[in-house]
Structure 1
Amino acid sequence: MKNSMFNTSVVSSAALIAATLSTSSAFAEEKSWENIVKQAEGQSVYFHAWGGSQEINRYLQWAGKELKAQYGVDFNHVKVTDISETGSRLLAEKAAGKSDGGSVDMVWINGENFKSMKDNALLYGPFVSTLPNWQYVDKSLPVDSDFSEPTEGLEAPWGVGQLVFIHDTQSLNNPPTSYTDMLNYAKAFPNKLSYPKPPEFHGTSFLKSLLIELTDNDPSLAKPVSEADFEIVTQPLWNYLDEFHKVAWRGGKQFPAGTAETIQLLDDGQLDLAITFNPNAVFPLKPAGI
């Protein structure tokens, strides 16, 4: 199988890291970065992050070794399946009055859980302006908002993802390049397209991307929801899904659990498109014969 990737009506998304209240003691006073580095020596950091990617896990293992060698910091990757579990843990610790020395120091977070943690005052900050490398962040990217929620310096990007689709060039040489094309393709080749079931974030992002394209990026999508506008603005999405599900994989009655399953279904020949947020996802698949 020869894999290739394309993007269509994409949603750009920064992978964001937020510090929790348990880290606040390290930044309780204005300090120079040099003093922060000195204070960090000998400390342990617990970073709660999705553990479903071997490539990302290996990168974090490498980063942990570098932190230990250069700064004397013990880095612990706490692998989670759903980052909302970490939010629930933080909320429980806050309810118990534990605002310092908690079990979570940093978290790899998405927009939905960022808003939840922000609304519940579980995050430390603003802190991003204290980071030496903040000056190198491309401010033209949407780093000041997350799922339309202002970040207000409470989270820092550590990568950029883009919603992309993987296809087999040997069986699909001319993939759809818009969601209109995708619907037409699904009608011509039933049972060959699908998307992860929301609230899995790839599935949610698929629907967001679809809504953006169908509404020509309506400005109201970046504003708080208005009941008066909701039905009108989102109606194209429901119309599309009603048509798409009729011809989707398994009749739109069942959905892949996530990106890994869409890739496996692509390899099995059940799907013609897989979905991912990682533009480099296709490269480690080739040595594995996928």
Structure 2
Amino acid sequence: MIRNLFITSAYWGRLAALITILAILFPLMTKAEDNPTFKNWEEVVDAARGGTVNWFMWGGADNINEYVSGFIGSELKDRYNITLKRVGINDTAEAVNIVIGEKQAGIDDTGAVDMIWINGGNFRTMKQGDLLFCGYHDLLPNNKLVNWQDPSIANDFGLPVEECEVPWNRAQFAFAYDSARTENPPKSIPELIDWVKENPGEFTYPAATDFNGSVFIRHVFYHAAGGPDALLGDFDQEKFDEIAPKAWAILNEMEPYLWREGETYPNAIASLAQLFANREVALYFDYDPAIFGINVENGIFPETTRSYGLQDGTIGNTNYVAIPFNSPNKAAAMVTANYLLSFDAQYEKAKSSVWGAAPAIDVSKLDDEAGARFAALPRHPAVIAPEALARKSLPELHPDWISAIEKGWQENVGK
């Protein structure tokens, strides 16, 4: 009896030791599956079914929110039993900071963020910090609809995408005016500079702290540089020091002729929209031209609103969705990203009554029937055709250039 008790105690001791070892190894085994390897798309879909995707995205536009929560959310639920939870934020950096904090805390497999609407500096921060799940493009069936030979898609603000994000939209800066009020709006940056002086009080732009205000300032910077080619690539302090004073001189020379004599600048693009709606200024602009038609339909802008690009080009970019390294629902996020690239999702998004956003896919890669449906989409008369804008698209700059320009404007113009 004593011998049996001894054996039993030893057995339980060894079992306890084994349980302890497994407790140590199990989290490691779980983490090894966090960057899963799938043999084919069917395995991805099987792993995704019944999952949840917490999509963190800018939530400032009701029509976009409805498209995502209503259309995309319903389709994912019906097709894959995936629950899409849209998490509205004011700034993409909020989601990025969550992931950064989780990595610092050692949260490598149970992150709160499954997908982010992202581009530019935020993408650079995440890629350089190894905060992204990458290398899955070949698994996505709809990846074949993306023109990865286009540098403006393959590179996000100058940084190679390298299978770390999936394109969702394309956007390009455009100007708007009331055709019943302004017959001949300025069609280039040099014309605009002269027009502002000839029409005092009729123009202003948001401060550099606003995204659209910053983009407008970059157009003037491009003009001062003789075009964007001199600015592409990594930030060059010597080039900046040569070009910046010319840009600040142009903007400071314009300042007395701006709305309220340039004593103050709108703090957000929404404020500029209100000034245009109230006829306090004659020109408006936005990185998303679809907003012109939306504001007309909502009774904010006059029905005679029309939009245009510049003869010397306007800045455009692609925006994407990305999956953080520690998303616990990577398969479901991949299925979501793939569906966003589908004809159905891109076509619905392109409807002027829904969003009017330019497609991220190459429409020429669709079959004839699908391509014809895109071509037949009615376009709001206030919105310039995306293909017309695209003919004179200017590239975005490296985020370090953008930061330097924004800081320089605040120090040399804004104050």
Please give the range of the TM-score, normalised by the shorter of the 2 chains: 0.7 to 0.9
1:128 aligned to 2:137?
Answer: yes
Q: Cα offset for 1:71?
A: 0.8
CA distance in 2, matches of 1:143, 1:157: 7
Matches within 5 A, 1:1-290: 25=33, 27-61=35-69, 62-138=71-147, 139-140=149-150, 142-289=152-299, 290=301
Contact 1:24 1:124 survives alignment (8 Å): no
Structure 2: stretches of 5+ with no match in the other structure: 1-30, 302-415
Contact 2:38 2:44 survives alignment (8 Å): no
CA distance in 2, matches of 1:266, 1:209: 20
Contact 2:202 2:282 survives alignment (8 Å): yes
Structure 1 or 2: more strand by fraction? 1
Q: Which amino acid aligns with 1:76?
A: K
Report the number of matched residues.
268
CA distance in 2, matches of 1:24, 1:235: 52
Q: Which amino acid aligns with 2:267?
A: A
Q: Which amino acid aligns with 1:286?
A: V
CA distance in 2, matches of 1:284, 1:24: 47
Q: Secondary structure at the match of 1:284?
A: helix
Structure 1 or 2: more helix by fraction? 2
Q: Secondary structure at the match of 1:142?
A: helix
Q: Which has the larger radius of gyration?
A: 2
**1:33-67, Cα deviation, whole Å (9 max, x unpaired):** 11111111111101111111111111102111110
CA distance in 1, matches of 2:270, 2:137: 32
Q: Secondary structure at the match of 2:290?
A: coil
CA distance in 2, matches of 1:177, 1:274: 13
CA distance in 1, matches of 2:38, 2:79: 23
Q: Secondary structure at the match of 2:173?
A: strand
Superposed CA RMSD? 2.0
Structure 1: stretches of 5+ with no match in the other structure: 1-22
**1:213-271, Cα deviation, whole Å (9 max, x unpaired):** 33232433111122222211333322221112232223334222333222211011112
Partner of 1:13: none
Q: Cα offset for 1:162?
A: 0.5
Q: Which moved more, 1:237-246 or 1:159-168?
A: 237-246
TM-score, scaled relative to structure 2: 0.61
Indicate how the Cα distance of structure 1 residues 253 and 111 shifts in structure 2: closer, same or farther if over 3 A, else same: farther
TM-score, scaled relative to structure 1: 0.85
CA distance in 1, matches of 2:90, 2:184: 35
Indicate how the Cα distance of structure 1 residues 283 and 194 shifts in structure 2: closer, same or farther if over 3 A, else same: same
Structure 1 runs (4+) greater than 4 angstroms displaced: 23-27
Contact 2:55 2:113 survives alignment (8 Å): yes
CA distance in 2, matches of 1:221, 1:83: 25
State the percentage of identical aligned residues. 30
Contact 1:24 1:100 survives alignment (8 Å): no
